[in-house]
Amino acid sequence: RFEKAEAASERRFENFESRIQKRFDEHEARMVNRFDLVESRLTKAETRLETIGWRTAAAAAGGSAGMIAFVAGLVTIFQNFVG
């Protein structure tokens, strides 16, 4: 009788351990996906910042039209990063 109870307890523990491992694996996969998404957004933002660098140079040379392009670039980056 003691052996049966011990075996049942061991099975319950193994099932519990299996469920915990499954949840951990699912959570880890979600975190990896989120990290990849954030990394992708940062890469896009970095590319846009490089573009803004060129727009800033154009703004210095081109006056108000260049500044309008620069501000429009900032707004676009903000909208894309947030959205």
Residue 17, pLDDT score? 92
pLDDT digits (tens, 9 = 90+) for 45-72: 888 877 777 666 666 666 666 667 777 7
The residues, ordered by sequence, that sit 6+ positions from 4 with a Cβ below 8 Å of its Cβ are none
Distance CA 23, CA 28 (A): 8
Contact 66, 53 (CB under 8 A): no
Structural domain boundaries enclosing 53: 2-82
Residue 16, pLDDT score? 92
| Entry pTM | 0.45
Domain total of the chain: 1
- Taking alpha carbons only, the member of 26, 72, 29, 65 closest to residue 48 is 72
pLDDT band at residue 21 under the 50/70/90 scheme: very high
